[in-house]
Structures are given as structure tokens and as C-alpha cells.
């Protein structure tokens, strides 16, 4: 990434202008709300945006949280143009998925969301929290899995499928010659089985498939995944 700044003074003024613009567009009360979100005094926000305080700018440690507050990408504060802005969308977390079962509604009641700013956003995206090792190393325990129920699914795609009360995340394989659909785990351990459905079976008409379009890797807290990478698990 290239930054076209002449000097630190210009960078500070640009940061002030960008933050000031966001606050003005958001409207009355934004300074107080942002200060509460960042756990700082409203007077600090005033110092960050007003030209009179040229020697005070927003610390970089607040870039990510400020971007999250306004629903944009942190890149906005680090570039000299508007084109790099990628809105951060909130995707509803609808439950956990593990070993062919899904626990729904717990997250919906708590109104929990995952953040997504990728190119595949659409309003019907939903998020699942991965549990277990069936899709390791592609998807690890605790990862946030973004699913699109309207995306076209092709062989080799990772999908979330549901048949009645059965639900899981697997690799999609359709074999027209054998007249079957297979849902295959990444982890080829005997603990995880491939689901096979015949295309002429009534069950084939009941299966619902959503393509996985993104995975938020949460390895900063995933000790198991880290140990696997160094062959210690």
C-alpha cells in the first residue's frame, strides 16, 4: 500500500478532516457516542477534529474501533483518497455448527453479529460459529463462517447444508455419473463421515445449501490450530 503524504503535519490534518466529516455526516450527538465507544472524554474527540488543536491527532490505537463505530474499513484513516473505503457490514450470527448438528437462536436472542467487509456481501448473508475439527485446517474451532444462501455452488466449494434437523459444514461434490451429491469433511479422520445423497431420493429435494463465502479466522485465541501448525497436536 502506498501513502502519498508530504509530511506528518499534512497527515494529521487529513486525519482531522476525515474524522470531522464522519462525525458531521452522522449528526448530532455523535461526538458523545464515539467518546463513550472509545472510553475517552468527549473533549478528546473535539481535540481530534478541530483545527485549533493542530498538535493533537487521533492515536492509531483508536483507528480500528473508530472504523467499527462508523461501519467502515480502518483503511479509511490511512489513505489519501476515498476509494479505499470498504464498508464493514454486520452479519447476524445464527448459531453454532458442529458434527452434523446446529444450535440456533441463542445468538439471535443476544443480537450478536460478525463483521464482514468483503466483496461478496448481500443482505441474506448469515454467520455460523464453527465447533469441532471436521473442517480442519480450512475452518477451525471458533472461526466465524459467512454463508450465502443464494450463491451458485460448484464442486469443491465449502457449504453449509441442512436436511431437516441435520446440519453441517462440508465440501460439496456432485457426481452426475453416479447420480449422487456428497458432503465431504476436510478432516479425513474416521471420526468424520461423508454424507451421501442420491439425486433420485426424496431427501435431495429437501436439502438446503448455502455457499461459504468467507471465514473470519480467530486463531489469535485458537491454541489447537496453532499446535497443529507446528505438528504438536
Question: Which CATH architecture fits 89-229?
Answer: Ribbon (2.10)
Q: With contact defined as beta carbons under 8 Å apart, do 114 and 144 qualify?
A: yes
pLDDT at 96: 85
What residue spans in the chain does CATH classification 2.10.109.10 cover?
89-229
With cut-offs at 50, 70 and 90, classify the pLDDT of residue 84.
very low
C-alpha cell at 26: 452522522
Q: What is the pLDDT of residues 86-141, one digit of tens each?
A: 566 788 988 888 654 444 434 443 458 887 877 778 889 999 998 888 888 788 88
116 exposed, middle or buried (CB, 10 Å; 0-12, 13-18, 19+)?
A: buried
- When comparing pLDDT for 195 and 118, which is higher? 195
Q: Regarding beta strands 144-148 and 158-163, do their DSSP bridges make them parallel or antiparallel, or are they unpaired?
A: unpaired
- What CATH code would you report for 8-77? 1.10.260
pLDDT at 79: 63
* DSSP per position, 45-99: HHHHH-TT-TT----GGGHHHHHHHHTS-GGGGTSSSSTT--PPEEEEEEEEEET
pLDDT at 138: 83
pLDDT at 48: 81
Average pLDDT over residues 185-214: 90
pLDDT at 107: 42
Q: What is the pLDDT of residues 134-178, one digit of tens each?
A: 888 788 888 889 999 999 999 999 999 998 888 899 999 999 999
- Please give the Cα distance from 143 to 169 (Å, whole number): 12
Q: With contact defined as beta carbons under 8 Å apart, do 139 and 169 qualify?
A: yes
Share the mean pLDDT of the chain: 77
What residue spans in the chain does CATH classification 1.10.260 cover?
8-77
- Please give the Cα distance from 60 to 76 (Å, whole number): 12
pLDDT at 10: 54
Least confident of 66-75, 153-162, 177-186: 66-75
pLDDT at 19: 83
Amino acid at each position: 500500500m502506498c501513502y502519498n503524504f508530504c509530511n506528518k503535519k499534512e497527515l494529521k490534518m487529513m486525519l482531522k478532516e476525515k474524522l470531522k466529516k464522519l462525525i458531521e455526516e452522522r449528526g448530532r450527538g455523535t461526538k458523545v457516542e464515539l467518546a463513550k465507544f472509545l472510553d475517552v472524554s468527549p473533549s478528546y474527540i473535539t481535540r481530534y477534529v478541530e483545527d485549533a488543536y493542530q498538535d493533537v491527532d487521533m492515536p492509531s490505537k483508536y483507528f480500528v474501533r473508530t472504523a467499527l463505530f462508523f461501519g467502515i474499513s480502518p483503511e479509511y484513516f490511512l489513505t489519501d483518497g476515498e476509494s479505499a473505503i470498504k464498508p464493514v457490514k454486520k452479519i447476524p450470527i445464527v448459531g453454532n455448527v458442529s458434527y452434523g448438528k446446529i444450535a440456533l437462536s441463542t445468538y439471535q436472542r443476544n443480537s450478536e453479529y460478525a463483521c464482514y467487509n468483503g466483496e461478496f456481501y448481500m443482505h441474506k448473508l448469515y454467520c455460523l460459529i464453527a465447533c469441532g475439527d471436521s473442517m480442519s485446517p480450512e475452518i477451525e474451532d471458533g472461526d466465524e463462517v459467512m454463508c450465502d444462501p443464494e450463491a451458485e455452488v460448484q464442486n469443491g466449494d465449502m457449504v453449509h447444508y441442512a436436511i431437516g434437523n441435520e446440519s453441517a459444514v462440508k465440501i460439496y461434490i456432485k457426481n452426475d455419473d453416479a447420480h449422487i451429491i456428497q458432503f465431504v469433511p476436510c478432516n479425513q479422520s474416521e471420526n468424520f463421515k461423508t454424507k451421501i445423497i442420491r439425486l433420485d431420493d426424496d431427501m435431495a429435494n429437501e436439502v438446503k445449501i448455502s455457499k461459504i463465502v468467507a471465514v473470519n479466522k480467530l486463531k489469535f485465541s485458537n491454541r489447537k490450530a496453532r499446535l497443529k501448525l507446528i505438528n504438536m497436536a
